[in-house]
Amino acid sequence: MAFKQVTSPHAHSAQSTSKVMQLVIWATVPGILALTWQFGWGSLINVVIASVTALICEAIVVKMRGRSVAFYLSDYSALVTALLLALSLPPLAPWWIIVVGTVFSIVVAKQLYGGLGYNPFNPAMVGYVVLLISFPIQMTTWVAPLALLPEGISHPGLVESLQIVFGSINPVDGVTGATPLDMFKHSSGLLVDQVYEREPLFNLAMFAGAGWEWVNIAFLAGGLILLSNRIFTWHGPLGMLGALALMSVIFYDSGSSTSPGTPMMHLFSGASMFGAFFILTDPVSSAVSNRGRLIYGALIGVLVYIIRAWGNYPDAVAFAVLIANFAAPFIDNYTLPRTYGHTDRRRATEKEEGQ
């Protein structure tokens, strides 16, 4: 009798990369629902266009690289990238914005670097930043949240939304509006309390910004689902949210006219929760050890606040994440865990330095 030769371990857990990716996709559902409820059909249309584009791009590049298309498409990673990009883009953005961003994410940021597992930067955020720099007007036009729509106007229906996206009609006046972060950026001269009194975006909200707080709560819920399924550890998200909260408390400036906004507004506006649980948790481009991820998250939190408060862009998650991606290998060198039987942590570079 001759037997099959296989190396140990022979037992394997049932977890697989495609299951992890699918779970991430499911975990965005609360966020998609909240976006659709608060901002209309736009986000769903983004998701569909981005997904189709991503799958086509991935298939073409994988084919060109001479790999098995079925094997690589079934890991669901292209869909995750498409989804994350689609959810960061403004609802009702023109279709070509979404296509250009997705092509850039998949082809340049992911496949040209070697495909899944080899990209140094978060592909969705690369696509987002390329769009933000190239098409600032389209990228900063956000639909107004449900509560802020003028009397008698509602979000466009599905057909109408498709017509807007594909450029055959323009959205009705009043359907677009400023985001809470925009608002604070352009409201210097007013005390925080005054802004809250005057602006319906805030006085119609519970604690952050109308509509946006629901979207953030939904992404927080999705993130907690992933956390409880141990798809990632708490280090990255807590690092970012902790640093963001700390920065916004330190620089709150007791609500003066130059204050960049309340801590709650920063935690529950823009892409804070989405970034903390869905973007910086991309394991490929982040730091690897738990301590490394805590520092990596904190770095993003600090950068997000700095760019929001004193930079030119109202939101900053994409820039902060890309900058931190640069820093990740450096963080990794100095954050090795202490191995069993050793008294000290080691540095990854100690051998090279020793010579």
Which lies closer to other proteins via its Cβ, residue 46 or residue 335? 335
Q: Is there binding between residue 341 and other proteins (CB under 8 A)?
A: yes
Residues in contact with other proteins, shown as a per-residue x/- string from 13 to 42 under the rule CB under 8 A: x-xxxxxx----------------------
Which lies closer to other proteins via its Cβ, residue 186 or residue 346? 346
Which lies closer to other proteins via its Cβ, residue 253 or residue 350? 350
Q: Do residues 181 and 308 lie in contact, with contact meaning Cβ atoms separated by under 8 Å?
A: yes
User: In angstroms, rounded to a whole number, what is the distance separating the alpha carbons of residues 39 and 285?
Assistant: 30
Which lies closer to other proteins via its Cβ, residue 118 or residue 166? 118
Q: Is there binding between residue 71 and other proteins (CB under 8 A)?
A: yes
| Among positions 70, 173, 189, 230, the unique one binding other proteins when judged by CB under 8 A | 230
Q: Do residues 10 and 58 lie in contact, with contact meaning Cβ atoms separated by under 8 Å?
A: no
Please work out, in degrees rounded to the nearest 5, the angle formed at the alpha carbon of residue 309 by the alpha carbons of 235 and 252.
Answer: 80
Which lies closer to other proteins via its Cβ, residue 18 or residue 194? 18
* Residue 117 one-letter amino acid: G
Which lies closer to other proteins via its Cβ, residue 1 or residue 159? 1
What are the Cα distances from residue 69, in Å, to 53, 58, 76, 99? 15, 8, 12, 21
Q: Do residues 112 and 151 lie in contact, with contact meaning Cβ atoms separated by under 8 Å?
A: no
User: In angstroms, rounded to a whole number, what is the distance separating the alpha carbons of residues 80 and 18?
Assistant: 10
Q: Is there binding between residue 352 and other proteins (CB under 8 A)?
A: yes
For 215, the token pair is 């979207």
Q: Do residues 266 and 240 lie in contact, with contact meaning Cβ atoms separated by under 8 Å?
A: no
- Secondary structure element (H or E) that encloses residue 84, with its range: helix 77-88
Q: Is there binding between residue 67 and other proteins (CB under 8 A)?
A: no
User: In angstroms, rounded to a whole number, what is the distance separating the alpha carbons of residues 269 and 200?
Assistant: 15
Four-residue CA torsion sign, 278, 244, 101, 144: positive
Q: Is there binding between residue 46 and other proteins (CB under 8 A)?
A: no
Which lies closer to other proteins via its Cβ, residue 20 or residue 85? 20
| Among positions 40, 101, 115, 275, the unique one binding other proteins when judged by CB under 8 A | 115
Q: Is there binding between residue 310 and other proteins (CB under 8 A)?
A: no
Q: Which stretch binds other proteins (CB under 8 A): 83-91, 126-134, 217-225, 228-236?
A: 228-236
Which lies closer to other proteins via its Cβ, residue 19 or residue 198? 19
Residues in contact with other proteins, shown as a per-residue x/- string from 265 to 294 under the rule CB under 8 A: ------------------xx-x-xxx--x-
Q: Is there binding between residue 66 and other proteins (CB under 8 A)?
A: no
Q: Is there binding between residue 326 and other proteins (CB under 8 A)?
A: no
Q: Which residues contact 252 (CB under 8 A, 6 or more apart)?
A: 259, 260, 261, 262, 263
Q: Is there binding between residue 70 and other proteins (CB under 8 A)?
A: no
| Among positions 233, 256, 257, 258, the unique one binding other proteins when judged by CB under 8 A | 233
What are the Cα distances from residue 264, in Å, to 69, 154, 161, 260? 45, 28, 32, 12
First to last CA, the chain: 53
Residues at the contact surface with other proteins, assessed by CB under 8 A: 1-13, 15-20, 71, 75, 77, 115-118, 230-233, 283-284, 286, 288-290, 293, 332, 336-343, 346-352
